[in-house]
Amino acid sequence: MAPLVEARGVHKSYWLGEKEIHVLRGASFSLNGGEMASLVGPSGVGKSTFLHVIGTLDPPTAGEVLFDGQSAFSMSEEQLAGFRNSSIGFVFQFHYLLPEFTALQNAAMPGLIHRLSKEKAEAQAKEMLEIVGLGHRLDHKPGELSGGEQQRVALARALVLKPRLLLADEPTGNLDEATGEGIHQLLVELNQRLGIAAIVVTHNPRLAERMPRRLRLPDEQAKAEKAQKDVEDAQRALADAQAKLRGQRQIARQAQQEAQRLNQEAQRETQDQQQQALQYQDQQSQQQHQLNQERAQSWTQEQTLSGRVVRKSGDQLRVRTEDQGVMNLDLSGTTAVSVDGRAATADQIQPGSDVRASYQMIDGKAKALKIDVTSNGSQQDQYQEQNQQQQPSTPH
């Protein structure tokens, strides 16, 4: 025997402009006649959507809903509306009672829509209001009833045609806990007493526990949303990291520019220092050159000496000077020689004579240019003796 109701791979999407909200993703389940189940799941998971599709209020995007093995949505709109009215009762979080009508009139409404006579419809309504414990409130309008009583009227209205399936979407969500408990108790009793199959959506796990069967919608949407959120988080983290990287690159570029600038500065400084060093070297070498020139000049400059001849051999005259010690005087290039005021030759110079000579240092030798001699006669031997031991010194 086919189950009372069956869902096969039901998908349901809503479209918000371009955006698809894929709520049900292949939901499958079946419920037998007289069976009762709770339906739980976090808010937004698609519980109401599921009830609407099962209750034939809304066609699925894909998949099938079957009643007694027959595809519900293959019926015409009109057939489906009739089927729904007689076979499925709905209770919602809000009672949706018509405020101008009494409890009895509200509960009789489906009977009237089902084209029962007013008497028959109201008789059935009265019976059902008594079952839900409101036999004493038939003529009250919704505004004159408590929240729990209003929901009981709504329940009586849902059950007035003795449907085979009751779909209750958070029927106690709007009630205080004690009142909600009472409604739940009533639902369980009605299921047992009238044999009406029911699916009750509830957030209250304690109430869900009381149902013989518990259904849970897998939180596909939440999973998808979490995955989407993870992707967005990762994208944000990536964007952050990229921004950070851009910042670091910027800093690195600035550091590089600064390093280049410092390097150039250092190079300029080094160049300046080298320049200065070169100038200094230049100065030094100029000074050195000058010094050398001066020295060279001093070497070749004409100088004079005066002293006494201590020895003579060939062109070489050894003279004991007054201030430069003993000097050798080279006579080979001497142009002018005078002895006692008369022009003479080098041969005529005798040891012991006093000499005044001008000379030039050439190649370490004092070359006599002009030499004036005053002869001293007998003293010559004595001088020779005295100065025999002395070492010659070269001027410097």
Ligand X SMILES: Nc1ncnc2c1ncn2[C@@H]1O[C@H](COP(=O)(O)OP(=O)(O)O)[C@@H](O)[C@H]1O
Nearer to ligand X, 49 or 105 (CB): 49
Cα dist. 126→89, 123, 241, 274, 318 in Å? 17, 5, 70, 117, 169
Q: Does 46 bind ligand X (CB under 6 A)?
A: yes
Helix (H) or strand (E) holding 48: helix 47-54
Residue 23 and residue 335: Cα distance in Å, rounded? 135
45 binds, among ligand X, Mg ion, none (CB under 5 to 8 A by kind): ligand X
Which of 6, 31, 48, 327 lies at the binding interface for ligand X (CB under 6 A)? 48
Which of 3, 34, 44, 173 lies at the binding interface for ligand X (CB under 6 A)? 44
Nearer to ligand X, 219 or 372 (CB): 219
Helix (H) or strand (E) holding 127: helix 118-131
Q: C-beta of 13: minimal distance to ligand X in Å?
A: 9
Residue 221 and residue 24: Cα distance in Å, rounded? 8
Q: C-beta of 135: minimal distance to ligand X in Å?
A: 33
Q: C-beta of 142: minimal distance to Mg ion in Å?
A: 22
Nearer to ligand X, 60 or 307 (CB): 60
Q: C-beta of 5: minimal distance to Mg ion in Å?
A: 19
Site for Mg ion in 37-76 (CB under 5 A): 48
Nearer to ligand X, 49 or 124 (CB): 49
Site for ligand X in 14-43 (CB under 6 A): 14, 16, 21, 23, 41, 43
Nearer to ligand X, 27 or 131 (CB): 27
Scan for tokens 């001088």, then name that residue. 383
Instruction: Check if the beta carbon of residue 54 is closer than 8 Å to that of residue 90.
Output: no
Cα dist. 22→13, 26, 61, 232, 328 in Å? 4, 10, 9, 19, 127
CA-based angle 387:310:322, to the nearest 5?
80
Contact footprint for Mg ion (CB under 5 A): 48
